[in-house]
A and B are shown apart, each in its own frame.
Chain A
Amino acid sequence: MKLKITFLLLLSLVTFGVTAQDTKTVSGTVTDTRDVPLPGAEVKVVDKDNYAVTDFDGNFSLDVLEGDQVRVTYLGFEAQTFSITNDATYNIVLQDQSSELDEVVVVGYGNQKKSDITGAIVSVDNEEITKQPATSALTSVQGKVAGVNIIANDAPGSTPTVLMRGLGTAEGGRSPLYIVDGQPLTDITSINPNDIESIDFLKGASYANIYGIRAANGVILITTKRGKQGKTVFSFESYYGAKTILNPLKMANAQQYTQYFNEESAANGGFLLQDNQRYNTDWYDELLQTGTINNNSFSVSGAGENIDYFLSYNLYQEKGILEGQEYNRGTIRSNNTYHLFNDRVRIIQNLNVAYTNENPKPFGSFSTAYRQSPLVPVRYDNGRFGQSFVNQNTGVVGFTTQPGETLGRLNSHGNPVAQVYYEDEQINTTSLQGQIAAEFDINEDLMLTTRFGATKFYSTKKTYNDIRDQWLNANPNRTEAQFEAGRVPDEDGVSTEFANNSYTIRRLESYRWNIESFLTYNKSFDEHNLSATLGISRENYEGGEFTEAQAYDVRPERNLRNLNLRTSQLFNDNVTGDTYQSTNLQSYFGRVEYNYDQRYYVRAVIRRDGTSDFATGENNFFGYFPAVSLGWTMTNEAFMEDNGVLDNLKFFAGWGKLGNQAIPFNVQSINAEAGSNNTNYVFGPSQSLIVGAALGTPAIPLSWEVTEEFEAGFDFALFNRKLSGTIDYYNRLNTNAILSVRPLLNSEYSSNFFDEAAEISNSGFEFLVNWRDQIGSDFSYNIGVNLSTNKNRVQNVKPAYDGAIGGDLGNGRITKRLAEGQPIFAWWMYEADGVWQTQEEIESNPSLVSAAPGHLRYKDQNGDGLIDDRDKKYFGSYIPTYNYGINIGANYKNFDLSVSGFGVGGNKVYNGLYNTRLGGENISEEIFNKRWTGPGSTNVNPGADRDVEASSYYLEDGSYFRINNITVGYTLPEISSFINSARVYVTLQNPFMFTDYSGFTPELNQDGDPTTTTGVELSAYPNTRSFIVGANFKL
């Protein structure tokens, strides 16, 4: 960007022309403000190929004409241009690039100069965000912020999962807190990335703790754009892209499937398939299409005497890789600032309107496409969708049988194309977000800020279910007449199984508001710099209500669907609704920052939060969250002056307490309901139902989780700021992690309960290093590398609270368990130890009862001669132990290039698609090729007949490296005075992914819940790759 501006400046200077004709030699020195000479600075005559470079003492000499404009550039300093007069020597003093160190960072209830920050905060600016087009700004910064693990989901309109410095909670909320222009929000899907000026990640407790009880998962501060002084800027940004699946899997074909099926079936004494079958369906071919993205933004911004204004409109349209899958979002933003009373009062108004229109399609179709046999057609000749029917006597796949023949199933899965076809759902949402803030300068040092913000969210989901068509298509032998027969009422009426269709409308409304007020005091005297903030805030959120109405037999035409317009009166309507209790939050906060001569820093923060979600003890809803941090900028010491190497070295350390109040509740209950399996009984000769009751597990009153964090590190800049970065260490401990505890088997209570049961610690290092340099006047480049490590451990589990299980594969097998000393919900399963080759081998070794040749063999860990739960072992976690990102940028003349990549390592992922089989499912070609086919064939991979136990065989290395983005841009030379700037670019998103994982994607996050199938591939949405072309204009 800098270079681009330089370039534009150069262009504008062309018009000055040249007046003097006499060549002369001038000389001079280039120094910084401390009179240190700057060797290697470029001194160049504007618009001429005539330049000099300063020597070691900063001296230069140059042949010029009088009247020439000479420009001095030096990396890390503001460029300066001067005119040649009749003087012969010119001593140029370059200013430090203030943008780097005096850049203002938003820290929550105020700003701080970057040079004064004493903690781990990472800022990302608009340029970084818009370089990687995405619906969510967070997706764009994946891999750019050390210690912030952003796990993208490529499904249209989805929000990425953000984990800052590891996962510190098992049952509590995991999302960071988002603060948009001071207003708390649960997510930022309603915000157009182009409207964002900057994102600040408050990683460490000493900064995040100003948000107290909700800060334990980190705080993300978003600042949206405002009008800037200068002329009105009209900006247009458009891009268009195509999306395809990144890592397609080659599935077994018809012939391979048949062989696999027959091997499995033969081992179980089942029927066999014929060799030559009619169909050979490639389900992924049938299911997937090329998605498209189309994004158009327009904004106008500027500033008048008393008003700054920014107005933008954005329309994002995406068609997913499944037929009919769509996501459209429009946003309108208006941010204005009114400067009153000679700018002593500023009224700031923000308004964001976002509406979305979405047609989701079932992700489950991906796993169905994996599992369904290639022998099944998409549709039969009669037009019905293909199903897994097979004639068991002839072994021919199809639905025809002769009398006496049995019609069976290859497997229990449906038709993925039908699944997508019948999913008819439309979601419309509107989100209104507004804020008014006022800033008063009470006197020179004291300012009062008051803000009021509110958000209202509406969502309507309309679901149409074509029951008749699905009933008929579930089995091609079914007839309309059979369906009609089902619609004849008997004494119980008609079962809804035989409704023509159902139509459901679900409306949701939610709201939140916040009001806050704080005083800011800033005073500098002599070498002392003091700043203090004191404030209060009040918030009400999570309130809302929903209603859902369902009717059967409505008109099928999309435009005539109406709950009141029905084709029969056979069925009753269902209407349900509920309201959500809102949470009230009352907070007080104070902060003091002091530094002496920008050398020694001390900072203390306290937040007192009260929440209506908890009653801890005697009407005490309040908790205190303190933090302190210290800093020392060594390079500002006298002894470090003129050291010639180090430009900046600042040490910092901080400690703080953070809360997480998004925890589950225990509520005492008495179980008594007519439908219960175990509280009711029948008595009397007629055995009438008597409803009984039982006490639920007693509730333990819980309060918020408290995380304590310590961090220490240093910021550095070397070699005239060519090399800069931050290295830090963090150690955070959730002191009272809430776990879902299973009562002792021999205790009186059955259901799990929540209790503060353990500590969860996360610790690691974060490295962020940037190198940038300029070679000649045409070429500059930068390389940024970041790496963060994470060690996640569960510790100090209360006795008998251990052993919670998770990662249920849905077939009675689990894959995770919580144990002391392990990462949270670590993998826990059998250790695969080869393949059973013969029956004799099975009989003479410890084995499962179900073992057979070709099955995986499991290690008898405790050596008791049996294979059971006690032989299961911990195998690490799905949570990466390190994340890294690489970002490279280069500019040559008008061209710019950027490449960014992102990777993780140290994690394991579970190939659930491969493992979970009920029988008769398809497999990938790779699995087919490597399978066990008889004694001696392989001692690694199981045969077609295998068990469904969870084992380390299916646990794979989850590390990957992905090139996120390759962008090549070209900034057009001035084409007319009307256009200020114009840039066209081509972007490849996710062009490559390097991984050893055998499934679709090792980036398996689901909703990030450690207790469920996070890290297990069962039906995840695959990664996609996009090709995007775009153009930006500024008028």
Chain B
Amino acid sequence: MKFIYKTLLFSLFTGLVFISCDDFVEEVDIVDPVAEDGEDYQPVDFVNGVYGMHTEFSYAFSYLGITDMISDNSDKGSSPTDSGTDKRALDELNFTSSSVSVTAMWTIWYKTIGRASQTIEIANTFEGQTAVPGARVIGEAKFLRALNYFWLVRSFGAIPIQEISLVERAPVEEVYEYIEQDLLDAIDALPLKSEYANTELGRATKGAAQGLLAKVYLYQEKWQEAADMANTVITSNQYSLDPNYANVWRVTGENGPGSLFEIQARGEIPQHGVQQYSQVQGARGGDNGWGWGFNTPSQNLEDAFNEAGDDIRRDATIIFAGETLFDGRVVDAGVENPRYSEKAYSSANAGQSDGDKNIRVLRYAEVLLIRAEALNELGQSSAALTPLNLVRTRVELPAITATDQAEVRQAIWTERRLELAMEHDRWFDLVRTGQAEAAMAADGKTFITGKHELFPIPNNQLVQTPEMVQNPGY
């Protein structure tokens, strides 16, 4: 008995030694939080992810609010009772720093910039065979980063440059310098439109970067640089005007001769496009309404077209209740709003959430208008008429013959409004050219000078970084 007892005791102590060993915790796989997914990704995969950001829903709703609805070109639309979260507030110019549309665009632009910077970093440090030259990937990423910074700076003014500080708002000039440098790098790195393989159609090109740079110069009133850069695009022989203005927004006009940069969309799952872009702006109600009916062209815009005798662009821009569209679709007269945006209309995916509508970001016609405006501001008003009248001739409008600088300036501004209507540019043109107060007054809204030139820094951003200073008036 005593023996058994001692044996038991001994074996237990042996067991004790056995279980007192730290290695036990390493016997199962340790969670390593910093381990990355095993698959290999090429730098080009990451730049594709930057393009992908532009198909988010924000571009189908929030973006419309802060670019079009806020302007005199369009109204909130939809049912009177449907405020579209803050769209009514934007339309009526009483939005605040809590406005979800402003917050959404601030956020997505910065997130896109973040992805672009990550891509540049990855391409710079990538070791191994690359399917696509790293320089081109970096060029594309820099173009996209510049585009998003441009959208930010013209909306918010001084903004933090993400790569430098998340709190400190860099002065507008510094932001533009940063954008210019990215674009100059992109111009060096990117192929011409014609140099790309067919399968790469839709990627950022040298011409896109040059066109955007011309626009960036224009916004800074660097007239000479703007005129020159626009001319570089014009003389590159990569672009021309599609003779049929209306065709530009149809599926047959996608990536057409006048296209510098478009957000690509196919409209099938999973090759989706800008999520719900066409649906949000589709005709609402009636017997065959197909959309939510937001962002409807205004009476003011229709009047502007009529005043200019511009039937071609009016009819290509506006869907009228009761009309029969080019593809045979009859729009019921009983739809809730009198006008809808035709540039957002998709024949194939009218009301589907995944639309095939490419959003035209930068077109040759705008490059011509940039050159015209810059030349006019440089005092070369008669030279300015050449590119201006190219744009007018396409839509069968008589050539402008005036040579008075102020008159030409007004003609160019009007031309920009009509040519680029519903293309998410009007509000910034109004602010840039100082027409905003008068235009808003004419549209029955009150533009507060010193406040409405800029959107407010989103409240949620200020909650996180209270040191950041709010824009005046908010």
Contact B53 A448 (CB under 8 A): no
Alpha-carbon gap, A178 to B269, bound state (A): 49
Report the minimum CB–CB distance from A437 to chain B (whole Å). Answer: 11
Answer yes or no: A676 CB below 8 A from chain B CBs: yes
Q: Quick one: given A745-B458, A748-B110, are A802 and B1 in contact (CB under 8 Å)?
A: no
One of A269, A344, A668 near B35 (C-beta < 8 A): A668
One of B22, B47, B107 near A692 (C-beta < 8 A): B47
Answer yes or no: B198 CB below 8 A from chain A CBs: yes
| Chain A hits for B49, CB < 8 A | 671-672, 678-680, 692-694
Contact A690 B94 (CB under 8 A): no
- Determine the main DSSP class of A at the interface with B: loop
Most buried by A among B50, B56, B114, B117: B114
Q: Quick one: given A746-B110, A868-B459, are A683 and B200 in contact (CB under 8 Å)?
A: yes
Contact B48 A679 (CB under 8 A): yes
Within 8 A of A (CB), among B296-348: none
Within 8 A of B (CB), among A422-468: 438, 440, 442, 448, 450
Within 8 A of B (CB), among A529-569: 536-538, 540
Q: Quick one: given A745-B103, A745-B107, are A615 and B98 in contact (CB under 8 Å)?
A: no
Q: Quick one: given A802-B463, A849-B88, are A677 and B103 in contact (CB under 8 Å)?
A: no
The range of chain A's interface size is 35 or more
| Chain A hits for B26, CB < 8 A | 584, 612, 619, 621
Report the minimum CB–CB distance from B178 to chain A (whole Å). Answer: 14
- 1/0 per residue, CB under 8 A from A, across B11-38: the answer is 0110110011110111111111111110
Q: Which one of A192-200, A625-633, A699-707, A989-997 contacts B?
A: A699-707
Answer yes or no: A870 CB below 8 A from chain B CBs: yes
| Chain B hits for A610, CB < 8 A | 22, 24-25
Report the minimum CB–CB distance from B205 to chain A (whole Å). Answer: 12
Answer yes or no: A51 CB below 8 A from chain B CBs: no
Answer yes or no: A613 CB below 8 A from chain B CBs: yes
Answer yes or no: A583 CB below 8 A from chain B CBs: yes
Contact A674 B46 (CB under 8 A): no
| Chain A hits for B201, CB < 8 A | 683-685
Within 8 A of A (CB), among B114-159: 114-115, 117-118, 159
Alpha-carbon gap, A792 to B277, bound state (A): 46
Answer yes or no: B45 CB below 8 A from chain A CBs: yes
Alpha-carbon gap, A742 to B25, bound state (A): 32
| Chain B hits for A612, CB < 8 A | 25-31
| Chain A hits for B55, CB < 8 A | 677-678, 680-681
| Chain B hits for A744, CB < 8 A | 166, 461, 464-465
| Chain B hits for A619, CB < 8 A | 26
Alpha-carbon gap, A651 to B20, bound state (A): 37
Alpha-carbon gap, A408 to B332, bound state (A): 21
Within 8 A of B (CB), among A601-633: 610-615, 619, 621-622
Report the minimum CB–CB distance from B383 to chain A (whole Å). Answer: 37
Contact A692 B45 (CB under 8 A): yes
One of B9, B20, B103 near A588 (C-beta < 8 A): B20
Contact B12 A684 (CB under 8 A): no
Contact A677 B275 (CB under 8 A): yes
Within 8 A of B (CB), among A845-898: 849-850, 866, 868-870
| Chain A hits for B86, CB < 8 A | 849
Contact B33 A701 (CB under 8 A): yes
Contact B96 A868 (CB under 8 A): yes
One of B81, B98, B198 near A685 (C-beta < 8 A): B198
One of A448, A515, A802 near B464 (C-beta < 8 A): A802
Residue of B nearest to A586 (CB): B24
Contact A693 B45 (CB under 8 A): yes
Report the minimum CB–CB distance from B14 to chain A (whole Å). Answer: 11
Answer yes or no: A345 CB below 8 A from chain B CBs: yes
Most buried by A among B9, B33, B97, B271: B33
Contact B25 A669 (CB under 8 A): no
- 1/0 per residue, CB under 8 A from A, across B196-238: the answer is 0011111100000000000000000000000000000000000
- 1/0 per residue, CB under 8 A from A, across B104-118: the answer is 001100110111011
Answer yes or no: B390 CB below 8 A from chain A CBs: no
| Chain A hits for B81, CB < 8 A | 268-269
Contact B37 A669 (CB under 8 A): yes
Alpha-carbon gap, A536 to B18, bound state (A): 10
Alpha-carbon gap, A451 to B460, bound state (A): 55
Answer yes or no: A20 CB below 8 A from chain B CBs: no
Answer yes or no: B89 CB below 8 A from chain A CBs: yes
| Chain B hits for A866, CB < 8 A | 94, 96
| Chain A hits for B465, CB < 8 A | 744, 800
State how many residues of chain B have any CB contact under 8 Å with chain A.
Answer: 89
Answer yes or no: A670 CB below 8 A from chain B CBs: yes
Answer yes or no: A585 CB below 8 A from chain B CBs: yes
One of B1, B47, B461 near A745 (C-beta < 8 A): B461
Report the minimum CB–CB distance from A636 to chain B (whole Å). Answer: 38
One of B12, B46, B166, B199 near A517 (C-beta < 8 A): B12
Q: Quick one: given A687-B264, A746-B461, are A701 and B34 in contact (CB under 8 Å)?
A: yes
Answer yes or no: B445 CB below 8 A from chain A CBs: no
Report the minimum CB–CB distance from A522 to chain B (whole Å). Answer: 18
Within 8 A of A (CB), among B56-99: 56-57, 81, 83, 86, 88-89, 92, 94, 96-99
Report the minimum CB–CB distance from B10 to chain A (whole Å). Answer: 11
Contact B199 A669 (CB under 8 A): no
Contact B20 A536 (CB under 8 A): yes
Q: Quick one: given A588-B20, A803-B460, A849-B88, are A693 and B48 in contact (CB under 8 Å)?
A: yes
Contact B463 A803 (CB under 8 A): yes
Q: Quick one: given A341-B5, A665-B33, A849-B94, are A450 and B460 in contact (CB under 8 Å)?
A: no
Contact A748 B118 (CB under 8 A): yes
Contact B34 A581 (CB under 8 A): no
Contact B30 A515 (CB under 8 A): no
Contact B25 A682 (CB under 8 A): no
- 1/0 per residue, CB under 8 A from A, across B249-267: the answer is 0000001000000001110
Answer yes or no: A695 CB below 8 A from chain B CBs: yes
Answer yes or no: A936 CB below 8 A from chain B CBs: no
Within 8 A of A (CB), among B350-395: 356
| Chain B hits for A685, CB < 8 A | 198, 201, 255
Report the minimum CB–CB distance from B397 to chain A (whole Å). Answer: 32
| Chain A hits for B115, CB < 8 A | 694-695, 748
Contact B51 A670 (CB under 8 A): no
Q: Quick one: given A668-B35, A683-B203, A693-B48, are A748 and B117 in contact (CB under 8 Å)?
A: yes
- 1/0 per residue, CB under 8 A from B, across A685-729: the answer is 101111111110011111000000000000000000000000000
Contact A614 B31 (CB under 8 A): yes
Alpha-carbon gap, A745 to B55, bound state (A): 19
Contact B48 A681 (CB under 8 A): yes
Alpha-carbon gap, A742 to B459, bound state (A): 14
Contact B9 A440 (CB under 8 A): yes
Answer yes or no: B272 CB below 8 A from chain A CBs: yes
Residue of B nearest to A536 (CB): B20
Alpha-carbon gap, A674 to B92, bound state (A): 40
Contact B52 A679 (CB under 8 A): yes
Answer yes or no: B8 CB below 8 A from chain A CBs: yes
Alpha-carbon gap, A538 to B200, bound state (A): 59
Contact B266 A517 (CB under 8 A): no
Report the minimum CB–CB distance from B138 to chain A (whole Å). Answer: 16
Report the minimum CB–CB distance from B273 to chain A (whole Å). Answer: 8
CB-based closest 7 A-B pairs: A748-B114, A692-B48, A868-B98, A692-B49, A694-B49, A869-B98, A687-B266
26 CB contacts below 8 A, A to B, read: A517-B19, A537-B19, A612-B29, A614-B30, A665-B31, A667-B33, A672-B49, A677-B56, A678-B52, A678-B55, A680-B52, A685-B198, A687-B202, A687-B356, A689-B270, A692-B48, A693-B41, A693-B46, A694-B52, A699-B33, A701-B34, A745-B106, A745-B460, A747-B114, A747-B166, A748-B117
Given A681-B51, A682-B273, A689-B271, 11 other A-B residues pairs in contact with their CB atoms under 8 A: A538-B19, A610-B22, A612-B31, A668-B37, A672-B49, A678-B49, A683-B200, A692-B50, A693-B41, A694-B49, A745-B103
